[in-house]
Amino acid sequence: MKTVTLAFTGASGLPYGMRLLDCLLQSGQRVHLVYSQAAQIVAKQELDFTLPNRAADAQQMLSEHIGKFSGELEVFGIQDWYAPMASGSNPGDAMVVCPCTMGTLGKIAGGISDDLISRAADVMLKEKRTLILVPREMPFSAIHLDNMLRLSHAGAVIMPPNPGFYHHPLSVQDIVDFVVARILDHLGIAQTLIGKWGEK
């Protein structure tokens, strides 16, 4: 079982994050989830459901939404400085920010740790653990690109949700699954969403 911190921010693309949460829990991983207030707005807009303000309420709601799973889910508030991933003494195995706003990406690139998401990402970088950022923006400005390059040099994986089409997707879900599969591959977690290139 791996411990993965998963963060939702206010960029469009929450279906990627929710599908990733589902896959991580179904595959038996421990997920520490944190989300921003803007992510709550996106959840309502894109998925027509409400992410509660209280972490305990969110944990119950998401557990019911996903259904039976073999992993573990714990939800933390964005200002919960006692959360495990806020310290290098207990960082977990990896972190994914999916979707990732340019504001969040910029804070992480600048070392600004003013909430649990940016602090946890800072911990991942300093402890040299896997940090995957899924920036959903188009087009990228020069500032965005500079920040992504800076983070790449620092050890982060920059993974914009750009789906391939060689697997002949038939639905939006197929496109979402392509991106989530690539994230799971980088986490070292087995997935059956999309076949490997060159394999039947």
Residue ranges per structural domain of the chain:
3-187
Of 41, 65, 45, 63, give the one whose Cα is nearest residue 53. Answer: 41
In whole angstroms, give the CA distance from residue 12 to residue 198: 32
Res 195 pLDDT > 90: no
Beta bridge partners of 74: 32
Confidence class of residue 140 from pLDDT cuts 50, 70 and 90?
very high
Q: Is the peptide bond prior to 139 cis by the omega test (within 30 degrees of 0)?
A: yes
Nearest to 184 by CA among 42, 51, 9, 26: 26
37 with 8: CB under 8 angstroms? no
CATH code for the domain defined by 3-187:
3.40.50.1950
pTM assigned to the model: 0.96
Q: Is 200's pLDDT higher than 90?
A: no
Average pLDDT over residues 158-180: 95
Give the tens place of pLDDT for each residue, 21-64.
Answer: 999 999 999 999 999 999 999 999 999 999 999 999 999 999 99
Q: Which tens digits make up the pLDDT trace of 103-123?
A: 999 999 999 999 999 999 999
